[in-house]
A and B are shown apart, each in its own frame.
Chain A
Amino acid sequence: NAGVTQTPKFQVLKTGQSMTLQCAQDMNHNSMYWYRQDPGMGLRLIYYSASEGTTDKGEVPNGYNVSRLNKREFSLRLESAAPSQTSVYFCASSEQGEDTQYFGPGTRLTVL
């Protein structure tokens, strides 16, 4: 099992460009999550999907959109990137909301 995979691993964007971060899990988990990690801020939840067909805002949803494409895949889209979105983005999945989360390796995004 690959667990949770994320693409790309690195990305550099210019201000105003758009992009989609991809995440997939092969553990048949119901719930999936997107976090961003910034120095001194810990992990901050952007959006989550408790089950296929549902999505909910987390702590820092502004500037992002998500799509739960199917049970396996959960994508994060930046419509118009800003320098404040420079961060490391992690995707995670779990069986249920309160269960152990399994993390992907992360995407390091720089917005110039």
Chain B
Amino acid sequence: AQSVTQPDIHITVSEGASLELRCNYSYGATPYLFWYVQSPGQGLQLLLKYFSGDTLVQGIKGFEAEFKRSQSSFNLRKPSVHWSDAAEYFCAVGAWNSGNTPLVFGKGTRLSVIA
């Protein structure tokens, strides 16, 4: 079975600074990988996903993530953070050809943005 670890519970960055949120997964075969964002009081919204192909994936709101098989990682990045990016971010992994096994979500990283 697959699993996901988000090592950072809470990160604070200054507005305009770069951001990297870490995600490590465990799965023996080809994973499907996702990043979701949850603004306060809202449901989860898909930021980006990796199924196959180019290991650098572009998403909405200027986010990108890079799949590194050798490191079992799928870190989320943004070159310049805006105050509106303050939210909780969840990484998730799906098992290719799993027979309908649901995605497994990490516990989330809360991002605070300071002026």
Q: State yes or no: do A and B come from one complex.
A: yes
Task: Give chain A's interface residues, CB within 8 Å of chain B.
Answer: 4, 31, 33, 40-43, 45, 48, 50-51, 58, 90, 92, 94, 96-106
Asked, given contacts A42-B107, A43-B105, A100-B49, whether A51 binds B100 with beta carbons under 8 Å apart, the answer is yes
Which of B32, B49, B102, B106 is close to A42, meaning CB atoms less than 8 Å apart? B106
Please indicate the chain A residues that have their CB under 8 angstroms from the CB of B108 in the complex.
Answer: 42-43
Find out whether the CB atom of A105 lies under 8 angstroms from the CB atom of B102.
Answer: no
Instruction: Indicate whether B14 reaches chain A with its CB closer than 8 angstroms.
Output: no
Of B38-46, B65-73, B76-84, which binds chain A?
B38-46
Q: CA–CA, A98 to B101, complex, Å?
A: 6
Find out whether the CB atom of A42 lies under 8 angstroms from the CB atom of B90.
Answer: yes
Instruction: Indicate whether B25 reaches chain A with its CB closer than 8 angstroms.
Output: no
Q: CA–CA, A90 to B45, complex, Å?
A: 12
Interface size in chain B (residues, C-beta < 8 A): 26
Q: CA–CA, A44 to B51, complex, Å?
A: 23
Q: CA–CA, A97 to B101, complex, Å?
A: 5
Find out whether the CB atom of A45 lies under 8 angstroms from the CB atom of B45.
Answer: no
Count, A-B residue pairs, CB within 8 A? 61
Find out whether the CB atom of A58 lies under 8 angstroms from the CB atom of B102.
Answer: yes
Instruction: Indicate whether B74 reaches chain A with its CB closer than 8 angstroms.
Output: no
Asked, given contacts A41-B107, A42-B107, A98-B101, whether A103 binds B96 with beta carbons under 8 Å apart, the answer is no
> Which of A31, A43, A51, A97 has its CB near the most chain B CB atoms (within 10 A)?
A43
Find out whether the CB atom of B90 lies under 8 angstroms from the CB atom of A96.
Answer: no
Please indicate the chain A residues that have their CB under 8 angstroms from the CB of B32 in the complex.
Answer: 98-99
Find out whether the CB atom of B102 lies under 8 angstroms from the CB atom of A31.
Answer: yes
Closest CB in chain B relative to A36 CB, distance in Å: 12
Q: CA–CA, A51 to B92, complex, Å?
A: 21
Q: What are 9 A-B pairs at a CB distance below 8 A? A: A4-B43, A31-B100, A42-B105, A42-B106, A48-B102, A98-B95, A101-B92, A101-B102, A106-B43
Closest CB in chain A relative to B22 CB, distance in Å: 15
